[in-house]
Amino acid sequence: MTTDVCDLAAAAMKAVKDNNVPEAIAALDRLVAEDASSVLWPTLRARLMLDKGAGEPRQALADAERALSLQPGNAEALLLQARALKAIDPASSGVVSACAQLASMSLTAKQREELEQLRQERATVQPVQYYVPTRSDNCQVICEQAAAACSAWKEGNKSHAQELLLKLQNDDCSSSLWPLLLARVHLAEQTPSEAIAVCSKALTTGAYRRADLLLARGMARLQAASSSSAEDAKADISQARDLGGFAASTAQDLSGCMSKLGIECRKGGEPGKAKTSASSATPAKASAPAAASKSSPSSSSSKPASASAATKPSSTSSSSTAPSTGANAGAIAAVLKARQAEDKGLFREARMHCAEALKLSPDLPQAVLCLARMELANGETSAVTKLIRKSHPSVLRRGPGRLEALSLVAAAAEEAGDWDTAQEELEELAPLAQSKTEEPPTKAGWAPQPKLSDILGRLAKARWSNGDRSNGTNLAQQILNAEQIQIQACEVACTVLIERGDMATALALMVKALIAHRNEPAEKCANLVCSVMRQCSVEELTHVLAPKQEDLAGDQANSIAEVVGYVGLIMKERGEIMEASRCYRKSVLLAPDNGSLCLNLMHTFALRRDDLRAIAWGERYFDRLAGKIPGARLISRTLRGDADVSTDAAPWKMQDFSGKPAFHDAIAMGFVLLKLLFLAHAHAKLLDQHGSESGSQEISWQAKLKAMDVEKETVSSSVSSLMEPGWHKAGEIASGNVPSGHACDAHQRVLLRLTVLLEKCRQGHDLHLTTVRNENAYFGCIREILQSTTPAAPPRGVQSLSPIYVVGDSHVLPCAWQTVDLRKAEDESSTCHVLIPNIVTGAKVWHLREKSKFYTKAAFWDKISSLPPGAPVILILGEIDCREGILRAVQKGKHNGVEAALQAVVDTYLALLQQVRKKLPSSEIFLHPVPNVLPETRSLTVSFNILLDAPATQAKLAKAKIKLLNFSGMFVGHPNGPPMMDASEYAKLELLPELKLDGTHLNPAYIASHLTPALKSAWAS
């Protein structure tokens, strides 16, 4: 095997001299595969491609980057990388970066000449003084030496071969081929001690070809023929056998050694079969120590003892493996149950199993770490530190648990923004991670251990965030040279690049990391994406993805649009609504027929009250489909108010679209259109206007829609609301500014026409089980309101209306545009109130807490900020917490029980209300109780309302001048409200027939029967 590489090197060298480029490339292809640890072959192949034009520059770039991953800072590889980048894109900013690095490196005369040429073409790098090295890094020289060594070997001139191999070992120190060949020469010369020394030194560097080196050292120890050498030889040969991966001739050497030492073959395999996992782990270990050792002066001096200890292999404690009998066996069994529950998110159950394990085996690290992981997942950072540092400090001192324990303590500090502590822990953790030899067994209850690259990336970010910018940047660069997708290293690098003004490279790095982690939760890349996109525009991002956008078409345009849309999704989830809107707008312009992107655009625009533009984008989508789908034409023309719209258009079917997801997206967009229109305008008369009503049948929003060219509309701080401006003013609204009966009737016809069509489209598709279930739920509620209820007649004698703004979750729907008469019997006022809907879709109280970054929080405060000063407000929140959040929080162990979880949400609600009061100091604020509609969660909603009405809560509400609305009984047989009963009994209570709607929301009839009396009472007080 070893002479094959030399033969290939000689063949490559001969082909280069003969200018036989194809043969040289073919030989180098084999050399790259055979000697994978050497930087020589990829750099030589890259140079040949660039000098001779043999192949694509992108292949040369890939070879240069491969060499840099093997040996970061290799001048030849860096120079070839710069040349390849220039060949691909003469304006690439990466050329400037590479030239800047090369300027401070030692270069050969030829390399210096090439760099000067690059400098002249770019005219950006300042003149520098170069140091001429004493040794040669020239690939051709190394090839010539390898060929000469091979010839000397074949001619029997072993001393000359040894001399050349020693020189090759020094000149190409990253390759383990040369020490292996040198060891073989020593074996042939009968000098086993020198062969042992060469192999031992090579093995300490974490080299490739470990199996070959172990075999050579074992053969040398056999040759030494001492009793101690025989035992050592047996260990080397056994390990070489387990690693495997030998060529046929070398496998014969292995078999001979095994026969001499009495070593059996592994079951099910030949001696030369490879164990790939063992060999593949070695390079990562080898590349990391230099990076991790660059700690800041303060951290390196403050912990000399612990840092030193971390570099030594840790001994495994007695509790780290799974004994078969006794208390420890029971403890391990309990931990395994805890791990299963942890993976399912059942943290409360997992905690009980961990408590059982710790009772049987105190300080069992697997149980301690399981508890710490769950605390970290719940955001309880101080609990993580207390658990590991104070309650169970032994996990930090010994055994395989030490690695994860330090990682968790560091993660808790990172989450809390304590970068000083985070850096301190990670400085200690990094050398420990490098000395790790194997993963602890999962069958003993251990979780997967943190990756070395992730630890180093986190350390780079911690250094940077803690002010040690130089070391943080250097470490991040070293990590990215080997693994260009490590998230924290990318964060540091992108920040540096943006500070330098190199937006393009920062965006390219962000996109590369984003694509690599596309199958992981989007939150993993959120910090990276948001930090970059706050400084870069969507146009810059698109230019990086597609420099020639005018040439994009078909699948390529759709792929680019999906990436831009995914960036928008991440921004939206973090509450960056405006930037998310810009991303989605660009993605839809790139791929106008992509329903998923258009649906997300509409949702995102609606979050910032940009409803008219959301409608316009939806209308544009259906207008593009109008030629092939009659139902789509109906939607488009209905929105624009065309008089000749057919009302009996056939519904669209799944076969009209490219697949089920596209079909669902189209229906969901129809649902969103209906929802936005339902909330934007009254669909029944608001005033008892006498006489005939004249005027246009056109609705005000239709005129705005027709006048809008949505493709030219940009995303800015200004929004285009569907609602008339008059509704955004506090105080009375004169009858002349209230929509006429004709306009309300026309709006209702639009809503009913859309409802009929969409109902036909959704029949038989079980949309409540799909990704558009939320849009389907909104549609179902609005459909019931429109088709199953009769609008209440406007109060008589009313000449003007005064708005009350209702802000909250989907329970705002039954209130929308309903009138409430709060006048007393003796009151001669001619003014009533109208409920103006302000929905925050999916709003949970928990997501509105101070620490949250979720998009519903941004949408909620946007709604509150838009309310006119002094206007009365009703808040409806908490039902989704009871339906989705409470039990899940208990399962995850965030609270000890349901009562504690309910109280935590109520406390969060009170804190939120105090902030609302600060925003609306002069407004009357009323608190709507949580609707007790769903039987499955009724015990929770009733308990929630009881807590809201508790004396302690009432005292805090009174201090904030907020009034809780007290409703009369809503259940059959309980006019004064539900009595105290078991949770299962609450589900059996029957809602009053007139209050039933869709099973989740109250019928609008409750406005007159329950809300108006409660509001009148609170208003009077």
Tokens of 384: 């993580």
Q: What single-letter DSSP state applies at residue 896?
A: S
- Greater pLDDT, 288 or 579: 579
How far is residue 910 from each of residues 659, 837, 849, 867, 917, measured CA to CA in Å? 47, 22, 10, 20, 11
* Confidence band of 554 (pLDDT split at 50, 70, 90): confident
- Greater pLDDT, 268 or 490: 490
Compute the distance between CA of residue 943 and CA of residue 983 in angstroms, rounded to an integer.
10
Q: What is the structure's pLDDT at 349?
A: 92
pLDDT above 60 (res 313): no
pLDDT above 90 (res 435): no
pLDDT above 80 (res 7): no
pLDDT above 50 (res 685): yes
Q: How many CB atoms lie within 10 A of CB 218?
A: 30
Interval 839-846 mean pLDDT: 94
Compute the distance between CA of residue 63 and CA of residue 834 in angstroms, rounded to an integer.
70
How far is residue 927 from each of residues 174, 538, 839, 874, 959, measured CA to CA in Å? 70, 41, 15, 6, 14
**Is 881 within 8 Å of 846 (Cβ atoms)?**
yes
pLDDT above 90 (res 120): no
pLDDT > 90: percent of the chain: 41
Which residues lie below 8 Å from residue 741, measured CB to CB, with a gap of 6+? Answer: 685, 689, 693
Task: Look over the chain and give the mean of its residue pLDDT values, rounded to a whole number.
Answer: 82
- Greater pLDDT, 349 or 108: 349
Lowest pLDDT segment from 36-40, 201-205, 254-258 = 201-205
Interval 783-812 mean pLDDT: 84
Which residues lie below 8 Å from residue 728, measured CB to CB, with a gap of 6+? Answer: 721, 866, 868
Compute the distance between CA of residue 277 and CA of residue 280 in angstroms, rounded to an integer.
5
Q: What is the structure's pLDDT at 489?
A: 93
- Greater pLDDT, 242 or 630: 630
Alpha helices in 189-310 (DSSP H): 192-204, 210-224, 227-243, 248-261, 276-280, 282-287, 289-292, 297-302, 304-310
Q: What is the structure's pLDDT at 265?
A: 72
* Confidence band of 556 (pLDDT split at 50, 70, 90): confident
Tell me how many degrees the CA angle 859-862-867 measures, rounded to the nearest 5.
Answer: 130
Lowest pLDDT segment from 155-159, 247-251, 594-598 = 247-251
Interval 184-193 mean pLDDT: 85
Q: What is the structure's pLDDT at 697?
A: 54
* Confidence band of 698 (pLDDT split at 50, 70, 90): low
Amino acid at 387: L
Cα-to-chain-centroid distance, residue 800: 51
Amino acid at 431: P
Q: What is the structure's pLDDT at 314?
A: 38
Q: What is the structure's pLDDT at 954?
A: 95
Q: Which of 31, 34, 36, 63 is nearest to 47 (CA)?
A: 63
Helix H or strand E segment including 334: helix 326-343
* Confidence band of 257 (pLDDT split at 50, 70, 90): confident
Q: What is the structure's pLDDT at 953?
A: 95
Interval 737-764 mean pLDDT: 89
Tokens of 773: 């279930």
- Greater pLDDT, 250 or 2: 250
Lowest pLDDT segment from 149-158, 382-391, 695-704, 817-826 = 695-704
pLDDT above 70 (res 84): yes
pLDDT above 80 (res 380): yes
pLDDT above 90 (res 782): yes
Three-state DSSP class for 802? Answer: strand
Tokens of 1017: 């009472």
* Confidence band of 160 (pLDDT split at 50, 70, 90): confident
pLDDT > 70: percent of the chain: 85
- Greater pLDDT, 798 or 287: 798
Compute the distance between CA of residue 434 and CA of residue 281 in angstroms, rounded to an integer.
11
Exposure string of 922-940, with b = 16+ CB inside 10 Å and e = fewer, is ebbbbbbbbbbbbeebbbb
Q: State the first-to-last Cα distance of the chain, in angstroms, to the nearest integer.
A: 95
Interval 998-1008 mean pLDDT: 93
pLDDT above 70 (res 315): no
State the Rg of the chain over Cα. 36
Phi first, then psi, for residue 955 (nearest 5°) are -65, -40
Q: What is the structure's pLDDT at 2?
A: 52
pLDDT above 80 (res 484): no
Q: What is the structure's pLDDT at 642?
A: 76
Within 13 Å and on the Cβ side, how many CA atoms surround 150? Answer: 19
- Greater pLDDT, 49 or 914: 914
Q: What is the structure's pLDDT at 430?
A: 87
What is the per-residue pLDDT across 894-903, written as a single tens digit (0 to 9) for each? 888 899 999 9
Q: What is the structure's pLDDT at 157?
A: 79
Compute the distance between CA of residue 458 and CA of residue 267 in angstroms, rounded to an integer.
42
Exposure string of 655-671, with b = 16+ CB inside 10 Å and e = fewer, is ebbeeeeebbbbbbbbb
What is the per-residue pLDDT across 90-105, written as a single tens digit (0 to 9) for each? 766 567 667 767 776 7
Cut 0.85: pTM above it: no
Lowest pLDDT segment from 247-256, 675-684, 884-893 = 247-256
Q: Are strands 733-734 and 800-808 parallel, antiparallel or unpaired?
A: antiparallel
Q: What is the structure's pLDDT at 317?
A: 38
Q: Which of 514, 622, 529 is nearest to 573 (CA)?
A: 529
Interval 234-251 mean pLDDT: 75
pLDDT above 70 (res 130): no
Place of tokens 């070489």: 240
